[in-house]
Amino acid sequence: MFDLTRYLDTASARINQQLDELLPKSGPSDRVIEAMRYSLMAGGKRLRPVLCLSATEAVDGRSESALSTACAIEMIHTYSLIHDDLPAMDNDRLRRGRPTCHVAFDEATAILAGDALLTSAFEILATAIETSRDPRAAAANMREIAQAAGCMGMIAGQMQDMDTEGRRLTPDQLETLHSLKTGAMIRACLRCGARIGKASAGQMEQLTAYGENLGLAFQVTDDILNVEGDPAKMGKAAGTDRMRNKNAYPALLGIEKSKMMAQQLIDSALGEIEEFGQRGDPLRAIARFVITRKH
């Protein structure tokens, strides 16, 4: 029986240790480094970097070789949280159970800490290319991550999310929004991990489809938890989406249909990786966890 808790604990510990090593401890401005570390080392599920490592393992690659790419992805995720939380954006004061970066420091520092995490991520990816045996494949990973994070991916999703507040979207429109805002990066995690593990074209396709289904299921579940979740466990207030007139699946489809949708997406994700045998166990367990988690 595959032990997910133990797997996640081990993987997050490796990721946290590597993140700690990759970030400077001091520099010409200690304040901005403190703010970067405050947000990056605040914990969180480390879902994205774990998915990257698990994808490498699923195609029989060494997850060690995906570790720095996985950490770069987590830095990009954290930068996006810092900027999304800003007063001019979602104006959130609580994240992962602690004051958000601009509350703990100030707005200017939070903007710069986000910028610096994004920049550090690409510095790490550049070093990964320089030291890779296959620099062109490593550069393809970097391009894929930049595309997923940029104005055709995550940033467009955040912009759409703000632009459509208070306006009711169709389920298709909401799916597009999420595929940009969270889906593109989750998909990139899987694809980069797969590429590092030298996936075949078929495996790459399957892991891409797994990632797309998982990403959307993750978001639907997030929306459900935002209505039903325990604020103490989630580290942020429940019901904030509705308060803010954010588009979310429960409001659009109802809670029961939203749960069915999440389950169907996870079934599809699992179907995609049927052929992976035992090496796919972590990805299977993560898929099941994504919709059963309570925060």
Nearest to 159 by CA among 225, 88, 57: 88
- Contact yes or no for 123/84 (Cβ under 8 A): no
Query: Which 26-85 positions form the footprint of a copy of itself (CB under 8 A)?
Result: 27-29, 31-33, 36, 79, 83
Binding mask 175-194 for a copy of itself (x = CB under 8 A): -x---x--------------
Q: Given the rule CB under 8 A, which of 124-132, 203-211, 212-220, 238-246 is the region that contacts a copy of itself?
A: 124-132
Nearest Cα neighbor of 178 from 216, 225, 224 is: 216
Tell me the window of 52-60, 144-152, 211-219, 245-253 that interacts with a copy of itself (CB under 8 A): 144-152
Task: Name which position in 4, 16, 45, 127 contacts a copy of itself (CB under 8 A).
Answer: 127
Smallest gap, in angstroms, from Cβ of residue 121 to a copy of itself?
9
- φ, ψ for residue 164 (rounded to 5)? -100, 5
Q: For residue 98, list its beta bridge partners.
A: 95
Give the x/- contact pattern for a copy of itself in 147-166, rule: CB under 8 A. Answer: x-xxxx--xxxxxx-xx---
Q: Which of 263, 272, 270, 274 is nearest to 286 (CA)?
A: 270
Is residue 103 within the footprint of a copy of itself (CB under 8 A)? no
Determine if 139 is a binding residue for a copy of itself (CB under 8 A): yes
d(CA 16, CA 11): 9
φ, ψ of residue 259 in degrees (nearest 5): -65, -40
Token digits for 275? 């052929």
Q: Which residues bind a copy of itself (CB under 8 A)?
A: 24, 27-29, 31-33, 36, 79, 83, 86, 88-89, 106-109, 111-112, 114-116, 118-120, 122-123, 125-127, 129-130, 135-136, 138-140, 142-143, 146-147, 149-152, 155-160, 162-163, 176, 180
